[in-house]
Amino acid sequence: MPDAVIMEGITKTFGPKVAVREMNLRVPEGALYGFIGPNGAGKTTTIRMIMSIMFPDSGRLSVLGKASAVESKDRIGYLPEERGVYKKMKVGAFLRLIGRLKGMPGAGLDAKVRGWLERVDLADVYAKRCDELSKGMQQKVQFIAAVLHEPELIILDEPFSGLDPVNMRLLRDLFLEQHAAGRTVIFSTHVMHQAEQLCDHLIMINKGNKVLDASMEEIRARYDPRTILFEPLDPGAAAAAVRGLQGVGSISATNGVLEASLVDGAEPTAVMRRIVEAAPVTRIELRRPTLEDVFIDIVSRDAGSEADEASLRASLREEAAAGARA
């Protein structure tokens, strides 16, 4: 399958700061790709370069077969991280303007705008001014602006930030539907579990470098589970009983749930059996590493960085959304 986006050796600097370094990546047509990484990692800069809003200092870029998105802007839908609307403009007029700017013909445009507003439960805001809308509503309007012209490639920068769970699900369904219709979808997020739920393929970015580029299956296969999670009937006694069992490394406890790491070479099923024999449990599972774990693992293996794990983890969760921008 041809590639919707190709980046080869792309570098972008802002003064002394290198925002993106030697980035190589390919997004095949029809794929659902996630760009993940903490805030300030270079996700937005990468996306802006794909959008030709910024231009790389060096390297080669191809978007939908063209050397730059300037020539294929009308075939791309974009939801920027910085949501912006014309405050004084009516919602309907705003969406029509964007449609016109995206090269849509004037005939039938209004009907499409109204149809989309209905789909996202915003039929009654057509004649309202943009600044009368709540943030979540504005975000949905922005999403319509990104997909109204039926683009082949949809790029969503942090599409879920600031949305409540109901609207988050609505938006997710809408863009999964776009993906199902055969469109290429790229989205970025710093919240790892969202990417984990949605993507076929992940590109992990940290400090301007691509640190991981793999499909979800590859990631799961590569990071096989090395932790056993169990909930004993008597947590106090269980810790002592399990410690020292063959194949069990360190043990940690949180809220009555114990985590036992496996020593190298230990067979998970055998160790689990031993644990159940040593202490009665209500639940026991082999824990899959989360993306967060994968990310922490990759970053801490990176020789140059002495990352503080707790702060790194915090930056990958929802609460950090208000933090620094990429």
Partner 1 sequence: MMHKVVAVAWREFSSTVLTKAFFIGAFLIPALAALAIPLIVKLTDEAKAPELVGTIAVVDRSGEVLPGVEQRLSVEGIAGLIAETSAIAREAIAEQLGEQAAQMQEHMDNPMVQAAIAQAFGPPPRLTVEPLPGEADVEVQRDRLKPSAEGDADALVALAVIAPDSVRKAEDAAAYGGYELFVRAKTDDRHIDLIRRALRDAVLEHRYAAAGVDATDVEALTSVSAPRTQEITDTGEARGATSALNMMLPFVFMLLLIMSVMVGGQYLLTTTIEEKSSRVVEVLLSAVSPMQLMTGKIIGQMGVGVVMLSIYMGVGMSTLVAFSLADLVSPEKLVYLIVYFVLAYFIFASFMAAIGSAVNELREAQSLQTPVMLTVMLPYFFWMPITRDPNSVFAIVLSMVPPMSPFAMVVRIASTEPPPAWQIFLSMGITAAFALGCVWFAAKVFRVGLLMFGKPPNFRTLVKWVRMA
Task: List residues near partner 1 by CB under 8 A.
Answer: 48, 51-54, 70, 73-74, 76, 78, 80, 82-89, 97-98, 100-103, 142, 145
Q: Shortest gap between Cβ of 24 and partner 1 (angstroms)?
A: 24
Q: Shortest gap between Cβ of 257 and partner 1 (angstroms)?
A: 43
Q: Shortest gap between Cβ of 19 and partner 1 (angstroms)?
A: 12
Q: Which H or E run includes 111?
A: helix 109-119
Nearest C-alpha neighbor of 299 from the set 193, 211, 202: 211
Nearest C-alpha neighbor of 154 from the set 121, 137, 176: 176
Between residues 41 and 76, which has the closer beta carbon with respect to partner 1?
76
Cα torsion 245, 248, 250, 255: sign: negative
What number of other Cβ atoms are within 10 A of residue 42's Cβ?
Answer: 23
Between residues 105 and 165, which has the closer beta carbon with respect to partner 1?
105
Between residues 50 and 260, which has the closer beta carbon with respect to partner 1?
50
CB 185 within 8 A of CB 143: no
Q: Shortest gap between Cβ of 249 and partner 1 (angstroms)?
A: 48
Alpha-carbon gap, residue 90 to 111, rounded angstroms: 16
Between residues 33 and 94, which has the closer beta carbon with respect to partner 1?
94
Q: Shortest gap between Cβ of 52 and partner 1 (angstroms)?
A: 8
Between residues 61 and 238, which has the closer beta carbon with respect to partner 1?
61
Alpha-carbon gap, residue 299 to 312, rounded angstroms: 9
CA atoms within 13 A on the CB side of 277: 8
